[in-house]
Amino acid sequence: MTAESVPRPAPWRDWLLADAPRSRAQARLGRWYGNWLLLKRNSLAVSGLVVVSTLVLIALLAPWLSDQSPYDQLLTARLLPPSSDHWFGTDELGRDIFTRIIYGSRITLLIIFLVSIIVLPVGVIIGTAAGYFGGLLDTFLMRVTDIFLAFPRLVMALAFAAALGPGIENAVIAISITAWPPYARLARAETMTVRRSDFILATRMQGASALRIIWSHIVPLCLPSVIIRLTFDMAGIILIAAGLGFLGLGAQPPAPEWGLMVSSGRDYLLDQWWVATMPGLAIFVVSFGFNLLGDGLRDIFDPKSQ
């Protein structure tokens, strides 16, 4: 990142950074803008964000980025090396690898999205409930969590995927089932640190219900660290999804899933290196991007570093 240029006074900027906001909306937007300024100053976070938003853009603009189809086979053009016609070469069925990687980003994003919306609520609800109520409920929920944590992730995901049958939806379910326990642990730990806070007691003294305290006080305070953790885990989730695809338990051919593509390119690794390498690089870049973003977010939002 280059140094920030001296900001010219812009009215909207003053409005956002106003020391005394005049409405709820202005206060909230101002807070977001303040966080954005912090994020902008952190070069790690910015490079991660660039990678992740590029991924989203590529997924959205896939049909415009390539005029070929990810599925059309052309057996006369099998295993062509990278060239100006086929930037990343072609695979064993003559499909353009560049196009397939572009369309594959949609599958990757879908997996990320589905896993997040399953894992986040499950982890946060179980963790905050265990942490806030304590006692028997805590013991029960944490033992269940321990049981799930005791299995190696990939093996467990494999078992679930095998039991549920191959397919992308089942892969997502399998990954989610193995991914939530650390989030429950984390949310519980965060809850334990805030539940004895004075402001929680003050809210209890107002007659607030447990549900209200958890929802409006504890969850917002747990979310940053849980989201940061999820960003870090994204790399692992993408890898597990690719791993399941590679082993034939995730997305099924002819879907342009990156792991599946690496798997089919394995047979040609020595002579046609690009078939497996290109989707492998895509997995690497996206995982790395999420890791960078997670690092940056942690620097910004981790209360301990402030």
Partner 1 sequence: MIEVFNATVVYGGNSQRLEAVRNVSFNVAAAEVFGLVGESGCGKSTLLRAIAGALPLARGRIALADRDVGLHRTREERRLVQMVFQDPYASLNPTHTIDKILAEPLAIQKIKAIDERVSQALAEVGLGLEHRYRYPHQISGGQRQRVAIARALIMQPGILLLDEPTSALDLSVQAEILNLLKRVGRSRTLTMLMVSHNLAVIAHMCTRIAVMYEGEIVEMLEVERLRRGEANHPYTQRLLTASLDGAAAA
Partner 2 sequence: MNRDLLLTVEDLHVTYQGRTAPVSAVRGVSFELARERLGIVGESGSGKSTIGLAILRLLPRSARLTARGLSLHGTDLLNATEEVMRTVRGRRISMVLQDPKYSLNPVMTVGQQIAESYRLHSHASATQAKSKTLEMLEAVRIRDPERVYRLYPHEVSGGMGQRVMIAMMLIPEPELLIADEPTSALDVTVQGQLLVLIDELIQRRRMGLILISHNLKLVSSYCDRVVVLYAGRVMETLKASELTSAKHPYTRGLLACRPLIDHQQPELPQLVRDPAWLNGAQQDRQGRAT
Q: Which two tokens stand for residue 124?
A: 């946060």
185, HSE (Cβ side, Cα atoms, 13 Å):
13
Give yes or no for residue 17 binding partner 2 (CB under 8 A).
yes
Residues 19-78 touching partner 2, rule: CB under 8 A, are: 34, 37-38
Q: Which two tokens stand for residue 14?
A: 């003053």
Closest approach of partner 1 to the CB of residue 196, in Å: 9
Residue 16: strand, helix, or coil: helix
Q: Which residues contact 176 (CB under 8 A, 6 or more apart)?
A: 114, 115, 118, 119, 122
Closest approach of partner 1 to the CB of residue 29, in Å: 11
Distance between CA atoms of residues 125 and 114, nearest Å: 17
Closest approach of partner 1 to the CB of residue 300, in Å: 15
Identify what 205 binds: partner 1, partner 2, none; CB under 5 to 8 Å per kind: partner 1
Give yes or no for residue 208 binding partner 1 (CB under 8 A).
yes
| DSSP-assigned beta bridge partners for residue 90 | 96
| Comparison of 43 and 216: residue with beta carbon closer to partner 2 | 43
Q: Which stretch binds partner 1 (CB under 8 A): 8-16, 20-28, 64-72, 278-286?
A: 20-28
Distance between CA atoms of residues 282 and 277, nearest Å: 9
Give yes or no for residue 217 binding partner 1 (CB under 8 A).
yes
Strand boundaries in the chain, DSSP class E:
none
List contacts with partner 2 (CB under 8 A).
17, 34, 37-38
Q: Which residues bind partner 1 (CB under 8 A)?
A: 19-24, 26-27, 31, 197-199, 201-208, 212, 216-217, 220-221
